[in-house]
Structures are given as C-alpha cells and as structure tokens.
A = this chain, B = another copy of it.
Amino acid sequence: MTTFIDGKAVALRVRAQVAAEVATLSRKPGLATILVGDDPASAVYVAGKRKAVREAGMRDLHRYLPATVSQGQVAAVLDELAADPGCDGILLQLPLPAHLDPGALIDRIPAGKDVDGLTTHSAGLLARGENGLRPCTPSGVIELLASEGVKMRGAHAVVVGRSSLVGHPMAEMLLHHDATVSVAHKHTTDLAALTRTADILVVAAGVPHLIGAEHVKPGAAVIDVGIHRTPHGLTGDVRTTELRGIAAQVTPVPGGVGPMTIAMLMANTLRAARR
C-alpha cells in the first residue's frame, strides 16, 4: 500500500495551530511581504501569503515597490522594517528585477526576522545546527515526514538537487535529524543506483518526471518538491503513478509539498514574534 501524503491537510493543521497560538497573544505578529515589480507569478505567491497572514490573525505589513526602484531604495525599506518593533518577519519575494542584487538585499534582513531563512547568517546557523529560522519549503518536508511517522534517525536520505532554496538546506535539516544524507545533482554519475538505496528520497531537481519506479526502493518515502506547469496541468519531478505499490509514501503534485511552504512561513513568523 502506498500512502499519498495529503499536504493540504497537514498544512491546514499547522496553520490552525499557528492561528490558535496567535489568538492567545496580546500583540499580534506582523509579517512584511515585499513585492518588487510586476512579475505575475510573484504577485500570486505574495497574495497567497498575505491571505494566510490575515487568516492566522497576524498583521499584514505588505509593501509594494515598482520595478524601477533602486537598490538603495529597497535597502531603505528593509532597514526601516528591520528597525520596526511591530514587524516580526520580513520576506523579500524573489526573483527581483535584474538590476537589483538579491543577495545583498536579503542579507540586510536581521536573522531574527528572516522568516524565509535565506540570509547568509541563517544559512550559517543551519550549517552549524544552531537555533535559527529555517527555509520554509524544506521545513515543510520535515513536517510532512514527521506527520507520517517516517523515522529519520539512521535512515538513508537522498536529496536530488542542491539549490540554496531547497536541496541544500533540505540536506542540512535531514542531517540534523540524524539521517545519513547523500546529495545528488546533475554531475551524479549513476543516480538510480544511489536513489535505490534511499529510505527517504527528496526530489528537488527541477526536472519534470526525472524520478520513476527504477529509482525507488520498495518501502521508501518519496517527497516531490518539483512543480511544473504543463499542457496537462501541474506535474512534479516524480512519475508518481509509477510508485504505487513501491513507495510507502509519496507526495502528490499539486497538494503535497506546495501547501506546506506557506504554512511553515506562518509558523516561522510566529516563532520570530515569540523570540
């Protein structure tokens, strides 16, 4: 039997827990989402985050900046929010217009308000296994694995992909949960040989349908972080239907990892407010 993990249900549970805790706070946490320019996908993502903020009972401190804004102007907005005691979390929506330097801007966010977990300092805290805010998508994967009771300690976890946003922090977090962790990427010579040894397989390669039955050990938990728009609808990095009867758990696309990202953003904002 293969379980299709219901990410929507887990995400709703996390968001309900956050809302319940927020309801007990006299000062409501505030999240500042910053949208620069008019990228339609970014506008949709930010709208979803703002809706979740309001539904959690938190304060929506959204800022919109036009695409023509200068590096210095974005920096000034970040510095103002960094200094604002009513702002608990700052999220600079990526990608930015090409004339802006995202790394330098993100690193202006204080570690305590870095609810996306993307600053150099947060990456360092994660690398060291020290307390800090973690990137939302890999945090969501950990939450899904925990919700299914998948044992991480001593398991062999293989992460396919090594991006700063997902693959790399994912590997770090699995390591801190005491998994034996392997990271595969485009230079990996025999991907299937490696992934077939995985008890936990997290695929964040950004390659549609990369992983199928030939890559998966019977009984493995397979988490698909990929999301691709095709003429036939949304699809992931995993040929999910092939894994029926092989994997113990698998996440669908859509409805698997996707909903967890916003849920963990809410959890991070609450956590930032509590510190």
Contacts and interface: CB of A to CB of B under 8 A. Distances in A.
Interface stretch (A41-49, A173-181, A235-243): A173-181
Interface string A179-213: 11111110111000010000000000000000000
Interface string A131-168: 00000000000000000000001101000001010001
A154 B121 contact: no
Q: Chain A, interface size: which category? A: 20 to 34
A162 B178 CA distance: 10
A189 to B, nearest CB: 5
A189 B154 contact: yes
A123 to B, nearest CB: 4
Contacts of A169: 127
A178 B182 contact: no
Given A127-B126, A168-B127, A185 B178 contact: yes
A269 interface: no
A162 B175 contact: yes
The quantity of this chain's copies bound in the complex is 2
A123 B126 CA distance: 9
A130 interface: yes
Q: Which of A127, A179, A189 has the most CB of B within 10 A?
A: A127
A159 to B, nearest CB: 10
Given A154-B187, A181-B182, 10 more contacts: A120-B124, A123-B123, A123-B128, A127-B168, A154-B189, A156-B189, A156-B194, A179-B187, A180-B188, A181-B183
30 contacts: A103-B130, A119-B124, A120-B121, A120-B124, A120-B125, A120-B128, A121-B121, A122-B124, A123-B128, A124-B124, A124-B127, A126-B127, A127-B127, A127-B164, A127-B168, A127-B169, A128-B164, A128-B168, A154-B187, A154-B188, A154-B189, A156-B194, A178-B185, A178-B187, A180-B182, A180-B183, A180-B184, A181-B182, A182-B182, A182-B183
